[in-house]
Each structure stands twice: as C-alpha cells, then as structure tokens.
Amino acid sequence: MSDFRDVEEFRTHVREWLAQNVPPVTLATGDEAVERSKRFTKKLFDAGLAGLEVPRAYGGQGLGPSHQQIWREEASKVPVPMGIYDIGLGMCGPIILALGTEAQRTRYLPPLLEGTEIWCQLFSEPAAGSDVAALRTRAVRSGDGYAITGQKVWTTGAHFCDFGILLARTDPDVPKHRGITMFIVDMKAPGVVVRPLRDMSGQAHFNEVFLDDVQVGLDAVVGEIDKGWEAARLLLSFERLAVSGGGSGIEGGASGPLSFHGLVEAARGAGTLRSSGARESLVDLYLLERSVNVFNERLSREYDSGIDPGARGSIGKLLKARREVAAAGLTTRLIGPAADFDAGASPRRTDATLRSFALPIGGGTNEIQLSIIGERVLGLPREPQPDLHTPFSDLDSRRKDVAR
C-alpha cells in the first residue's frame, strides 16, 4: 500500500476498491448496522486502506494528507458504511496520536483502525455545551488513579461504543479553563450508565451518560493533568476539520440523499425545477458546495506543505453546516410530498432532512464558529469573558445559589 506515492494512481486504486467492496444501501439500524460497518471496516483495514495518515507502527499506512483528501473525495461518491467511526477516526484517534503516550497509541490505534473498537466523545453536559469549560463532572484522586463522577449528554453513539474521550474537572479551585483533564474511559466499566435519547428522526443517535465513581488509572490520562483545555481545543479543531471534510455520516456527499445532483434530478421528476426561485436557490446551493470543496482542497494542500490549518477548520465547518441546511430546505420545498415524507419510499432523504438540523449545533454551533473565525482567524476583538479569572468553585457556588 505504501507504494502509492503517486496520488492519481492511488485515486484509481481507491475508486476500484470502493466499486468492488461497498455494500448496497440497506435500511439496517441498531446492532445490524453496527455489525455491517464493522465487517466493511475490517475489509478496508485488510486491504491496507485504513489510517492513511497514521504511522505504520500503529496499524496505519504512513501516507500524507493528499492521500487522505483523495480518500474523502472518492468515499463521498459511494455510500461507505462507516459513520459509526467518524468520532474515533476523526477526533479520538488523532488526539491519541498527537498527545497520547506510546503505550496508549499502541493499545488503542490498531483496533480503532481495524474497526473492532468504537469511540465516542464525552464533552457536553447539561450545563456545559457551547461553554464546555463550565463542565462539572469531577475526577478526584483515588488509589493509583482517579474516580470520575458526573453526567454527560448528547454523546453520539455511546450506546454501542467501547471507549470514550472524556473531560473532567480535576482542580475546581482554579479558573474554569484550567484544572480540566482529558481521560480515556472504558464505556463498559462499572459505574457507566448509558441512556439513549430519541431525536426527531425517531432514532436514538445520541445519549445521556451517567458516571458514578468510575475508576480509571493514571494511564487513562491523555496529555497532562489539569491541561485538558488545551487538549480539548485541539480535539475540537480535529472535529471541525473532520466535519467540513465530510465524515462518512455527512449526507450531502455525491452519494448522499442530499446530494446536489440527486436533488436536481428529484426536482425534475417532481416537476418543480421551473418553479419560482428554484434555479436561483439551486445555484446558491451549488456555490456553497463549491466553497466547501475548494476550501478543503486548499487546506489539505497547505497542510501537505506543513501549514497548520489552526482555527480555519471552523470556516469549513460553518460552510458545510449552511450547505446541509440549505439542501434540506430545498428538498422540502422542491420535492416535498413527492419525496418520501411519511410515504416511506426513500427514508434516507427524510432522515437526512431531519438530521440536517444537527450539523449547525454538533461540534460547536454556527454562532460559536463565527466567534472563533472572528477572534482567531481575523483577529477581531474577543467576546467579553467576565469569568475568565474567577476560580470555578466560586462560579459554581454562585450558580447553585441562583438555582436555589
């Protein structure tokens, strides 16, 4: 596999492999869908196509971002059943590679690439979403490690995951961005309770996760103790790049139910292509789509030549979210009843339309992306942060007083 230095030769190989190995779309959900994804991912691993940028020592291929970009482009054209690995491959694996110990990389990366272990992200809490540094889950020293107690929410895939990357407060007596530590948590450990939450698509994609005195060793710490905020920011920047680059769960890819060409064809079939404003809206959608793609290609080229994308991943994430929402809006407007709403003809399009509302929220809302772009890309004045220097324990007791 490592002989594919020539990227165009690599593209041909990927295209042919996908054509031969991607299974037909099914409506499988739950355990059946997870098993289907596992089978496909194992095949991918055996074919030497998993972990293109991951060093060979950890089960990857040791290739560069250009190869990864080609994979994304080709994989977006066919329905690759790997959405359950988006968080592991796009965020948890990269953070372990960047900040993990040698033992963590060796233990966790190969099974992740092979598809035998699935990962989730345990950041958000009921009172800590956009302001994730307000998290209240505590990790206190216990024996040779830590005991973790608290609650997480909106945890995608926790009901079928093996491990999660979790943020917990290890020192409440310093300002909220300090005193946080990142941990690896075994989702099957005693004290972890996962409760699926049903969203408006009727399915349970995310969960509440309760942690009651969950014991972890010091070898579960990712990066440095009390330096979890820096680790979290890095992981979130990986998340934005993964989302804007089109993780396999994104529906607007060329093979997705919200693809541009699929939408045009469906509107033609529904006889609405000539309706008022249809063409203008479709051209707007096309321009948004091109912006995301051109932006990602540029970021990938720059990354190849050693330029860190930094906060600019937020630009791609924001554009991608706007593109998905625009595509979903056009689906209802131009296809509407002729699509599959309630009719069950193609539940993928209904499902994708309903789930399009998730993209402007998950991974940081559009408003938060605008703030990041303004502050960290354009150097505009920072948002006021009156609690920046107050110890978290003071903030927390004030909040409890208000709630009382």
Among 41, 104, 124, 300, binds ligand FAD (CB under 6 A): 124
CB of 363 to ligand FAD, least distance (A): 6
Residue 374 DSSP one-character state? I
The 8 Å CB, 24+ separation contacts for 268-271 are: 269/338, 270/334, 270/335, 270/336, 270/338, 270/339
Residue 128 DSSP one-character state? B
Q: Are 173 and 151 in contact (CB under 8 A)?
A: no
Q: Nearest to ligand FAD by Cβ — which residue?
A: 129
Cα(202)–Cα(160) distance, rounded to whole angstroms? 18
293 makes contact with ligand FAD (CB under 6 A): no
Write out the binding residues for ligand FAD, residues 251-290 only, by CB under 6 A.
none
Q: Are 316 and 245 in contact (CB under 8 A)?
A: yes
Cα(366)–Cα(369) distance, rounded to whole angstroms? 5
Q: Are 135 and 125 in contact (CB under 8 A)?
A: yes
Biggest alpha carbon distance in the chain? 70
Among 367, 382, 394, 398, binds ligand FAD (CB under 6 A): 367
Single out the segment in contact with ligand FAD by CB under 6 A; choices: 36-44, 117-125, 179-187, 331-339: 117-125
369 makes contact with ligand FAD (CB under 6 A): no
Taking the least distance from each CB to ligand FAD, the nearer of 69 and 314 is: 314
CB of 384 to ligand FAD, least distance (A): 10
Write out the binding residues for ligand FAD, residues 151-180 only, by CB under 6 A.
154-156
Structure tokens at 396: 């927390």
Taking the least distance from each CB to ligand FAD, the nearer of 328 and 358 is: 358
CB of 265 to ligand FAD, least distance (A): 28
Taking the least distance from each CB to ligand FAD, the nearer of 224 and 367 is: 367
- Dump strand ranges (E) for 198-238: 206-217, 221-222
Taking the least distance from each CB to ligand FAD, the nearer of 1 and 127 is: 127
119 makes contact with ligand FAD (CB under 6 A): no
- Active site residue: 53, 74, 239, 251, which one? 239
CB of 9 to ligand FAD, least distance (A): 37
Cα(7)–Cα(64) distance, rounded to whole angstroms? 10
Cα(117)–Cα(247) distance, rounded to whole angstroms? 18
Taking the least distance from each CB to ligand FAD, the nearer of 215 and 365 is: 365
362 makes contact with ligand FAD (CB under 6 A): yes
Write out the binding residues for ligand FAD, residues 179-238 only, by CB under 6 A.
206
In total, the chain counts a number of residues equal to: 404
Cα(368)–Cα(33) distance, rounded to whole angstroms? 33
374 makes contact with ligand FAD (CB under 6 A): no
Cα(208)–Cα(69) distance, rounded to whole angstroms? 34
Taking the least distance from each CB to ligand FAD, the nearer of 67 and 355 is: 355
- In sequence order, what are the residues at sequence separation of 6 or more whose Cβ sits closer than 8 angstroms to the Cβ of residue 375? 381, 382, 383
CB of 127 to ligand FAD, least distance (A): 8
CA atoms within 13 A on the CB side of 279: 1
CB of 63 to ligand FAD, least distance (A): 28
Among 44, 364, 372, 392, binds ligand FAD (CB under 6 A): 364
Single out the segment in contact with ligand FAD by CB under 6 A; choices: 75-83, 124-132, 311-319, 325-333: 124-132
Q: How far are the Cα atoms of 236, 243, 321, 363 from residue 358, in angstroms, in the given order?
A: 16, 12, 9, 9
130 makes contact with ligand FAD (CB under 6 A): yes
Cα(278)–Cα(244) distance, rounded to whole angstroms? 26
Is 383 a residue of the active site?
no
Residues forming the site for ligand FAD (CB under 6 A): 120-124, 129-130, 154-156, 206, 358, 361-362, 364-365, 367-368, 371, 383
Active-site positions read: 239
